[in-house]
Amino acid sequence: MTRIAGLAVVTLVVLIVAAPALAQPGDDGDGAVMRVFDHFLRKGGAITWFVLVPLSVATVALTIEYCLSIRRQTFVPPETYRTISSHLHKRAYAEAIEYAASEQSVLAGVVNTALLESRNGYAAMERAVEETLEENSARMMRKIEYLNVIGNISPMVGLFGTVYGMIGLFASIRVAGGMPEPARIADDISIALVTTFWGLLVAIPALSVFALFRNRIDVLTAECALAVDRLFSSFKPGAAPMPRPGPSAEPAAVQSA
């Protein structure tokens, strides 16, 4: 969470610094120069400032954090696979358990849990592998669920802001006792729609990135299961001796990492 908070702060600073560069001249109803930055932020209201913009910053920060943590190197590191394979080939099971316990990858955690269950037979090892992989997959899915939540609530928050702005517009027309100038109405409606714009701007990337990481978790979990199955092939009843570790003995997913 500390890393995510740091990324959010950095992203917010970059947004504040870069926003003026996005400005472009335009002509508002009074003939004064208006900037895009002012229209989409300053006039967007409190819902834009305190809800939608922070959600967009959180989306960027979460995306960066997930790119760093949900990758092949954290699931099936080639070096970890080669080291564990070497220990198992030498029947140095204590060293394999000690090494796996010291590593932080998903592969190492699965191997460590399975080897600790080896005294209960291969069936117990299989159950340990399945349970550990399922637990890691569920943990990763819960981790990226924040993006799904942001992607689903942002359009509703934006719609709420638009409805609130339209209510204010019609109330001002009623108070004025007549139809104001069309240019003024167009400007007010444009500002009211800013929250919907921000809601969609946040939701579309958030849901897209959520789907991307969900698929990546599924693929990396399957690759990890394949690597573990290859490592424990010699433990299967009636299996041939384990091949010597080397590039040719590694699963294709590990070789390409």
Q: How many domains does the chain have?
A: 1
51 Cβ contact partners less than 8 Å away, ≥ 6 residues apart: 157
pTM: 0.76
pLDDT tens-digit readout, 202-234? 999 999 999 999 999 999 999 999 999 999 988
Among residues 25, 31, 38, the alpha carbon closest in space to that of 183 is found at 31
pLDDT interval class at 35 (50, 70, 90): low
Scored b (16 or more CB within 10 A) or e, 5-26 reads eebbeebbeeeeeeeeeeeeee
CB 147 within 8 A of CB 207: yes
Range of the domain at 204: 2-255
Residue 27's φ and ψ, nearest 5 degrees, are -120, 110
188: three-class secondary structure by DSSP: helix
Note the pLDDT tens digit of each residue in 89-112.
999 999 999 999 999 999 999 999
Mean pLDDT of all residues belonging to the chain: 81
